[in-house]
A and B are shown apart, each in its own frame.
Chain A
Amino acid sequence: MPEATAATDGTTAYFDGYGLVALLAVLGVLFVAVAFGAGRLLRPVVPTPEKLLTYECGVDPVGEGWAHTQVRYYVYAFLYVIFAVDSVFLFPWATVFAAPGFGAATLVEMFVFLGFLAVGLLYAWKKGVLEWT
C-alpha cells in the first residue's frame, strides 16, 4: 500500500519520529493531570488568610512581590543571543564539513567563524562586560 512505500523516504519517517514524541507528551500531560486531580481529592483544604499570605520570613510582607530589581546581566543576555544564534549554524555545518569534497576549505571557514566568535568574546571581555558589577 502507498503508505508502506512512502515510509522509506525521509518525510514520512520524519513525522513518524515525532509522532512518538507527541504521544509521550500526551502521556506526560495525562500524568500531570491525574496527579493534580488525585491530589485535589486527597489533600485537605483549610485556607486561612495567614496561610495565603506571601512568605517573607514570618513578618508581614512589605510592598509588592513583583519588586523592581536591577537586572545586572542584560549585557550577558545580548551576548547570549548573538552567540546562540551563531552557534545554531554549527549543527548543519557539523554534519557535512568533513564529507568528501569539502575538507580543507570548510576547515578554514570554521576558523574564520571561530575567529569571529573569539574576537567578539575578547572585545566584550576587554570592555569589562564580563564583570558582574
Chain B
Amino acid sequence: MSSSDTLDVVLRLLALFAVFLVFPLLVGQAEHKVMAHMQGRLGPMYAGGFHGWAQLVADGVKFAQKEDIVPADADRRIFQLAPAVALLPYLLVLVAIPIGPGRAVGWYIDAGVFFVLAVMGVGVLGSLMGGWASANKFSLLGALRTAAQLMAYELPMLLAAASVAMAAGTVSLPGILGAFHWWWVPWQAVGGLVFFTAGLAELQRPPFDMPVADSEIIFGAYTEYTGLRFAMFLLSEYAGIVVLCALTSALFLGGWHGPFGADGLGWVWMLLKTAVLAFVVIWLRVTYPRLREDQLQKLAWTVLIPLALAQIALTGVVKVAIS
C-alpha cells in the first residue's frame, strides 16, 4: 500500500467520523427549531447567541458532567456497554452509503444493501441490552416492545430493499445508483414508502415510539440511564435518522441523481434529499399521535408486508418485461 492510499483511507475514515458526529446534531437542532415553530413556539434562543444554535453543544456539556448512576440491582457491565452497542452500528453503516458518483462513497462494498440491513439490525440490541440489564420494570417493558417492533418491521424493510436490488440486478449501493433511471421513483414508490415507514418504526420515532412512550413507561429501556450514556442513546437515535434518510434517498429516490449537475454537484442532490426526508421525520413526530402496540403490529403484518410482496411482484414483472 502506497502512502497516497494510506492518506486516502485516513481521509475517508475522518470524513465518515465527522459526518457521524455532526449530521445527527444538525438533525437534532433542526428538530428543536422545526418542532417549535410548528407548535407556535420559538425553541432554544439563548445558547450560542444566534437562534440558540449551540443548544446541543450546551446539552453535551451538561451530559458530560452529570453523575453516572448504575442502579445497584442492575447487571453492571451490560448496562454500561449497551449505549455503545446502540450507537456504533450507525457509524459502520455510513461506510456503504454513496453520496456521489464514482469513488464518493465511504468504501465500495459488494454486498451493500445486505451489509447495511444486517448492521442496522444490531443497533436495536443496544436497547434490548439496556432494557434487560436495568432490572427496572419500565425498562423491561420498553425492551420487550422494542423487540416486538423489530420483529414486525425488519421484514417489510428487507422485502422493500430486495425489490430495489431486483430492479438494479445488484446489491451494492453504488451499483444500484449506477443503474438508476428517473422512472424508478414511481415504479418503486410503494417499496420506498414501506421502507421509510418500517425504518421509522425501527428507530422508534413517533408515531412508532411505543417502546419509549414517556406518558406510560417513563422512557422505556433508557429509564435508568443518565449523563453520557443517556446522551449516546439519544445520539444513536439521531444518527439513525441520518442513516435511514440517506438510505431511503439512495435506494428509492436516486441518491446523487438529479435533473441537472449530476457530474459535479451530485452530492448536493444527495444531501438535499436526505435533509428533506429528515424534515419529514420531524414533521411526522409533530403531526401524528402514537400508535398502540397492537395497531403497530397489525399495520406491519397486514399492510406493510403485503404491500412489500406486491412491490416485489411488480418489480419482477416489469424487469423481465423490459429486459
A residues at B contact (CB < 8 Å): 13-14, 17-18, 20-21, 23-25, 27-29, 31-32, 35-36, 38-40, 42-47, 49, 51-57, 61, 64-67, 69, 71, 73, 76-77, 79-80, 83-84, 87-88, 90-91, 94-100, 103-104, 106-107, 110-111, 114, 117-118, 121, 124-125, 130-132
Contacts and interface: CB of A to CB of B under 8 A. Distances in A.
15 contacts: A24-B16, A29-B84, A35-B228, A42-B64, A53-B72, A54-B134, A65-B137, A65-B140, A84-B158, A91-B162, A91-B165, A94-B162, A104-B320, A110-B316, A111-B313
B95 A91 contact: no
B152 to A, nearest CB: 7
Contact of B135 (A49, A64, A118): A64
Q: Which of A17, A53, A100, A131 has the most chain B CB within a 10 Å cutoff?
A: A17
A21 B84 contact: no
Given A14-B110, A27-B13, A107-B317, A39 B301 contact: no
B169 A95 contact: yes
A103 B13 contact: no
A94 B312 CA distance: 10
Given A29-B84, A61-B137, A95-B170, 14 more contacts: A21-B115, A23-B9, A24-B95, A27-B17, A36-B228, A52-B69, A56-B137, A65-B139, A71-B144, A73-B148, A90-B159, A90-B166, A114-B309, A114-B313
B106 A20 contact: yes
Interface size class of B (residues with CB under 8 A): 35 or more
A55 B223 contact: yes
A24 B74 CA distance: 31
Interface in B254-309: 293-294, 297-298, 301-302, 305-306, 309
B202 interface: no
Contact of B140 (A69, A73, A80, A94): A69
B41 interface: no
A107 B316 contact: yes
